[in-house]
Structure 1
């Protein structure tokens, strides 16, 4: 068994992949395996993966015969992994040489189930400076879920998968939902409901890269699709919370779901959308904080979340 498994889904990233894999090769901590899941990439990404596997046997390549998306690739990587701890790195991102060493040292010293680090934003190759004062704090599951869902400071925990290290025993039976956007939000939420302790350092040791070719369009259809994706994701979280979380966590997940229904209403998405109307009707029972039945339900929902 290796100490850390790094899972890297790969799809159409030939332009950035070597930078990512070189940063993994440069790690000061060496007891790791890097599982590269080539998701039937149409460019040279798969060949680049094979190139690194030939040069270093810690790199293991899985070539999928059919594209299944990031969630399917992560699930396959997780199933294959042998490590005591799990990390995820996106194939167009990269990490500092001390990335694994720092995360491992922190999770062992704090005895946490998850450790989150800070990250630099890299926009079209330009690294944004992060001059915030550094901290390392630990939280219970309930505290962490509250921070994640905005009950208090909202700049501590995030829904990003790739700036964290996880105890494998904590996540090995938890699968990413396939075929949905916002899958990270579902996965992180469900993890937070089952952990005992989460440690957070805002020291940036991960480079999160955004490119012109990956920026979402701002057209109305794209906006509507994103809102719908969030509703589907947070419905999943709310359903999981019903049987796996405290009342406090259930209330927060229901409030987050309600907020996205309000966004849908404000964007006039209910008109002609039978699926969305049916979901909202089914989810009314979750919004027990809306008591005044003399006001129409949709108006109560908008008033409760805010204008």
Structure 2
């Protein structure tokens, strides 16, 4: 049984898969397996991957490629990888990103030394404008409630790619997201609730390449509506999980999340479908944002302005 399984969905990444794969095969951790999930990619991604594998003969036996018969999206591609994985811990990697060479060994050592269910590493974002941002845990000594709220208030990232997760913990999820947008949120937020121990691994990074051309940055009307519907469906998974016994504790931050998702639709408010989605439960959402003292004052003011416009019929 390998110490760590890395799950990598593959679709339309022929420009980036070589960089990703080489960074994975050059990890200092020896006892590791790599599960690439071919989600019916239409380009040369798999051909390029096989070429890179041939350059690392010592890794060949550690690599498996799972082939989907139809395109299912990254959420279900990850699920295929999880179901195939044998490692004590599982971590995801997007095939257009890359990782520092010592990352997975250090994360695994932290997991063992601290008996952690989840280990979080730093994430370095490479923006299109040339700037970089380093993201990690805001407060590694925070309580479980504090860690969860930090993600709900978007003070830390909920990405799966910078979190090494005990394999048994993934099996405790009540629901697995089916939609792409916000699928990380629908997995990580419930996992944080059922985890006994979350640990932090500093310095070595997961490197995230921000590209405005990806699905997550669609700005067409149809793309934005689809993106909004997907993320709200995944948010519903989170709400169902927390409503079981912590509805009051997390009601306000969950409404804060919905408020931020609704703002995606504001530029398209003249469209009937977008307007209907935007106005659904809007008054309730705005109430919980305006009365929430845990978020910044300017956000509460923006919510109040939207409420006034709604009541005056201006939006």
- 1:110 aligned to 114, 118, 121, which one? 114
Offset from partner CA, 1:25-75 (integer Å, 9 cap, x none) = 111111010001111111122223444556311011111121111011100
Question: 3-state SS of the aligned residue for 2:96?
Answer: coil
Residues 197-276 of structure 1: matches in 2 within 5 Å?
197-211=197-211, 213-214=213-214, 216-243=217-244, 245=246, 247-261=248-262, 264=265, 267-268=268-269, 271-272=272-273, 276=277
Offset from partner CA, 1:174-224 (integer Å, 9 cap, x none) = 364123422112112221221222223452411111346437344455444
- 1:128 aligned to 128, 132, 136, which one? 132
1:84 counterpart residue number: 88
2:13 counterpart residue number: 13
Mapped to 1, the partners of 2:218 and 2:33 lie a distance apart of 36
| Number of aligned residues | 292
Question: 3-state SS of the aligned residue for 1:160?
Answer: coil
Mapped to 2, the partners of 1:251 and 1:20 lie a distance apart of 38
Residues 175-186 of structure 1: matches in 2 within 5 Å?
176-186=176-186
Q: TM-score, normalised by structure 1?
A: 0.79
Query: Please, which moves more after superposition, 27-36 or 241-250?
Result: 241-250
Mapped to 2, the partners of 1:230 and 1:82 lie a distance apart of 30
- In the alignment, structure 1 segments of 5+ residues that lack a partner are 291-300
Mapped to 2, the partners of 1:214 and 1:70 lie a distance apart of 12
Is the 2:24–2:101 contact (alpha carbons within 8 Å) kept by the matching residues of 1? yes
Is the 2:20–2:98 contact (alpha carbons within 8 Å) kept by the matching residues of 1? yes
Mapped to 2, the partners of 1:66 and 1:262 lie a distance apart of 33
2:304 counterpart residue number: 303
Structure 1 residues 226 and 20: alpha-carbon distance in aligned structure 2, compared to 1, 3 A threshold: same
Structure 1 residues 197 and 57: alpha-carbon distance in aligned structure 2, compared to 1, 3 A threshold: same
Is the 1:138–1:200 contact (alpha carbons within 8 Å) kept by the matching residues of 2? no
Deviation at 1:124, TM superposition (A): 5.8
- 1:95 aligned to 99, 107, 110, which one? 99
Structure 1 residues 122 and 51: alpha-carbon distance in aligned structure 2, compared to 1, 3 A threshold: same
Q: TM-score, normalised by structure 2?
A: 0.77
Mapped to 1, the partners of 2:305 and 2:167 lie a distance apart of 39
Deviation at 1:90, TM superposition (A): 0.7
Structure 1 residues 133 and 120: alpha-carbon distance in aligned structure 2, compared to 1, 3 A threshold: closer
Is the 1:140–1:197 contact (alpha carbons within 8 Å) kept by the matching residues of 2? no
Mapped to 2, the partners of 1:48 and 1:205 lie a distance apart of 25
Structure 1 residues 259 and 51: alpha-carbon distance in aligned structure 2, compared to 1, 3 A threshold: closer
1:142 counterpart residue number: 145
